[in-house]
A and B are shown apart, each in its own frame.
Chain A
């Protein structure tokens, strides 16, 4: 434990009554967060809980709608990135912000002015490496560094700029266990030397092991805050995924049909060539509703893409059915063309296979029917897609995909941005699709939703796929690698 600061000393970072909304969505709601000097404070929560937003407010990247932010007791005049940087805040992002084609040294000093002095930059790099204890190879392009080294460079960047408060956003999400441990040890040492750290994470074990204080966010609000020594993993998991159920858990378990997807030791790499899924084997049968439980960075996205047939597996074998409905995670990038009309967007489905003429009148009629059936608020089928709200856009995507008879439905966060009624409707549609003989594979960041819908759960953690029972706590622990080990083993 680090020496506790004097009671009279102001905290390194203080957020008081901070709130932020994006349009209709409340991201952060009246949050109090205090980082004592010389300590590590873990900020925990599911995806969408508001952790990233809160820290971006702290870093000055976005302004808060309400509340006060103070660094070492003083509120900066201009609350922007520069102000925060001057106050000593250094943020290390989850999606690293290095320029891959520049060298280590160049990334370190990016944003300065005047002449580049390689000798001085080199010296700065070495001094920072020495005082912090983090090492990276010097004469290398940032893009050629390993993930671990890239992260170290990010931290060195912040330290070289004089950061006394480090905000680390899911730093161990992309690291192997050994590297994670090393980083956590470093964080602890940094705090012991007087630095202050906010550790944004969803890995409960790490949080307890290395932090002094723990705060849990859920739906933008603080639901638990206290000393790490006084919390167990179970406490935290319960705070993250509480028992309260607003929705009926209607999990009928129909008899599953024939096997429709067979995967044997598949390996999936992402667009950058990094392996995301390693040696997974599983079967999926018709009429099953398989929920994929995973946190960001686990590789579940690549798994879903492989199952949907969008990317080939780089080794192993997978057998997939013909007719697939796909509800992707990012609708504006992958599912809808915003300047096209609703009818045209509906017509995009399986466009590659279509021959001959486009039956626009029929498509228009079908679109109108879909608008009706799915309660999509839109002036007409010929309205442009950009004119719809996000929620209605998502309904349109779901409507389009589930309209046809399919063998497989792959859905990534299908109810994102939808209200309760629409969410229930989508759930009904997915169940109906399964009842009609399709296999449904879906991912949701909301564990309650996952459980209310799924007849089977596969957990993806660090590229490993494992079967889990329908027990909320067990799933929650497996998602964050806590509890019963890393969940190795195949699922049948």
Chain B
């Protein structure tokens, strides 16, 4: 049983970027926009954090958010303002971000190949709880931000008029417009929020996990986050649980040797992706926001 604690700790750490990205994507999708460029937001944020993070960690995170927003602005312009197909624009944005970050990285001659990662911040008292204490409450500070996002997003969606309008836009844009809600503005804001968090997730990937940058290090996390949102039924609590499960699946690759499983490393790497397929197939797609992925055209 002694393997459970380190696995749990690794799971939470690995889940952090997933949860951050998924929380942002939840907001975007509840407004009816699917962000296939989320992978691009993550890799952009990762690179920005890598490039700036040597200065201070906070600056690194700020740069990460800004990078994510940069991608988000393009999505907002092309998909919300210009009403072009969300899937194609998103795919292009992911390619763009991968290309730009790869180029910058190879050319950049970064000041340091390794960036100091955030140390764990032990929460007094909580971190002493047996079994789960170390896993949940002795993590880098960004993990607590991720935890905090869950109730924050819930509160926004359920307890503010903006959140209400956003939910209305995603489910019945016609009714929303009839009630005076500005559909395009809401969708654009949701996109920017989701992209910013996507960038932050990339920042967490570098600053709280890897400590360095590698091309394509996002490794599909953006798409895992999209799957997590669907599996979590577009609700913050469900998304949090799904993120943890997927974090555990991804963490297995590190822990597989320690667990003494006779599984080849490459096969262990497959686990999160196979898990996604199985879960999506088994649990179905749930009831998505009615207008998700569809372009709302004005009269």
- Chain A residues at the B interface, C-beta cutoff of 8 Å: 81-82, 85, 93, 97-102, 106, 109-116
Contact = CB atoms under 8 A, between A and B. Distances in A.
Given A82-B180, A101-B167, A102-B167, A113 B161 contact: yes
Contacts of B165: 110-111
Interface in B149-193: 158-165, 167-168, 171-172, 174-176, 178-181
6 contacts: A102-B168, A110-B181, A111-B161, A111-B165, A113-B161, A116-B158
Nearest to A81: B180
A114 B179 CA distance: 16
Contacts of B178: 81, 93, 97
B159 A99 contact: no
B171 A99 contact: yes
A99 B161 contact: no
Q: Which 10 A-B pairs have the closest CB atoms?
A: A111-B179, A97-B175, A111-B180, A97-B178, A99-B172, A110-B179, A101-B171, A112-B161, A99-B168, A99-B175
Contact of B161 (A85, A101, A102, A115): A115
Contacts, number: 59
A102 B160 contact: no
Given A97-B174, A112-B164, A116-B164, 5 more contacts: A82-B180, A97-B178, A100-B171, A115-B160, A116-B163
B236 to A, nearest CB: 16
A114 B181 contact: no
Given A110-B164, A110-B168, A99 B176 contact: yes
Given A81-B180, A82-B180, A99-B167, A109 B175 contact: no
A102 B171 contact: yes
Contact of A106 (B162, B164, B180): B164
B161 to A, nearest CB: 5
Contacts of B174: 97
Contact of A98 (B159, B175, B180, B290): B175
Interface of B: 158-165, 167-168, 171-172, 174-176, 178-181, 290
Contacts of B161: 109, 111-116
A454 to B, nearest CB: 35
Nearest to A118: B159
A100 B290 CA distance: 10
A97 B180 CA distance: 12
Nearest to B162: A113
A55 B106 CA distance: 64
Contacts of B290: 101
Nearest to B290: A101
Most chain B CB within 10 A, of A99, A100, A109, A114, is at A99
A100 B161 CA distance: 17
B166 to A, nearest CB: 11
Nearest to B180: A111
Contacts of A100: 171-172
Contacts of A109: 161, 164
A109 B172 CA distance: 15
Contacts of A98: 172, 175
B134 to A, nearest CB: 37
Contacts of B176: 99, 110-111
B177 to A, nearest CB: 9
A369 to B, nearest CB: 36
A102 B181 CA distance: 15
Contacts of B168: 99, 102, 110
Contact of A115 (B159, B167, B171, B181): B159
A116 B181 CA distance: 15
A98 B175 CA distance: 6
Contacts of B167: 99, 101-102
B153 to A, nearest CB: 15
A302 B171 CA distance: 25
B185 to A, nearest CB: 13
A110 B170 CA distance: 13
A477 to B, nearest CB: 34
A78 to B, nearest CB: 13
A307 B297 CA distance: 33
A114 B160 contact: yes
A353 B178 CA distance: 43
A161 to B, nearest CB: 9
Contacts of A110: 164-165, 168, 175-176, 179, 181
A85 B180 CA distance: 10
A106 B167 CA distance: 10
Most chain B CB within 10 A, of A98, A106, A116, is at A116
B227 to A, nearest CB: 22
A172 B171 CA distance: 26
A109 B181 CA distance: 12
A109 B174 CA distance: 16
B249 to A, nearest CB: 30
A226 to B, nearest CB: 33
Nearest to A61: B178
A97 B161 CA distance: 18
A116 B175 contact: no
Nearest to A62: B299
B167 to A, nearest CB: 6
A115 B161 CA distance: 6
A300 B181 CA distance: 34
B18 to A, nearest CB: 26
A228 B160 CA distance: 47
Most chain B CB within 10 A, of A85, A100, A106, A112, is at A112
Nearest to A116: B159
A270 to B, nearest CB: 17
Contacts of B158: 116
A116 B160 contact: yes
Contacts of A111: 161, 165, 176, 179-181
Contacts of A115: 159-161
A368 to B, nearest CB: 33
Contacts of A112: 161, 164
Contacts of A114: 160-161
Contacts of B171: 99-102
A102 B160 CA distance: 13
Contacts of B159: 115-116
A102 B167 CA distance: 8
Nearest to B287: A101
B158 to A, nearest CB: 7
Contacts of A85: 180
Nearest to A113: B161
A101 B169 CA distance: 11
B68 to A, nearest CB: 27
A360 B119 CA distance: 70
Contacts of A97: 172, 174-175, 178-179
B298 to A, nearest CB: 13
Contacts of A101: 167, 171-172, 290
Most chain A CB within 10 A, of B168, B171, B176, is at B168
Contacts of B160: 114-116
A101 B176 CA distance: 12
B179 to A, nearest CB: 4
A72 B290 CA distance: 40
A115 B159 CA distance: 6
